[in-house]
Amino acid sequence: MLTVKRFAALDVMRGLTVAAMLLVNNAGDWSHVYPWLEHAASHGCTPADFIFPFFLFIMGASLAMSLEAQISKGIDVVDIRKNIFWRSLRLFTLGIILHIIAWV
């Protein structure tokens, strides 16, 4: 069985960020929204504007840790790149299909 080393702080930050994204994007009645749940109109900054950068940080840290673990296991870099390419292609295709379904 493969054991995966998890980082609790990264998992907690990921969970809080996803919860914050759901709260900001679905704040309820849009005519009665707390100001900190809305994005800044043109310039300025609200707490809602920090959620996506946190998400990007989490994804970058997770990617670096994942690649480091795969390379330390001796997996060939070419195989890692192939897996990244095919997974990206599948996700992109799934996104296009879901967009077409929602559009029709």
pLDDT in tens, 64-84: 998 998 999 999 999 999 999
Residue 61 CB-density burial (10 A; 0-12 exposed, 13-18 middle, 19+ buried)? middle
Give me the mean pLDDT over the 16-21 stretch.
91
Amino acid (1-letter code) at residue 44: G
Active site positions, annotated: 39
Whether the pTM exceeds 0.85: the reply is no
- What is the separation of C-alpha 47 from the centre of its chain, rounded to a whole number of angstroms? 18
Task: Give the number of other Cβ atoms within 10 Å of residue 24's Cβ.
Answer: 19
Q: What residue ranges do the domains of the chain occupy?
A: 1-73, 76-104
> Encoding tokens for residue 10?
């990264």
Of the pLDDT bands very low, low, confident and very high (cuts 50, 70, 90), residue 2 is low
Ramachandran quadrant class, 4 (left: phi over 0; alpha: psi -120 to 50; beta: rest)? beta
pLDDT: which is higher, 42 or 20:
20
pLDDT in tens, 23-55: 888 877 777 777 777 777 778 788 888 888 999
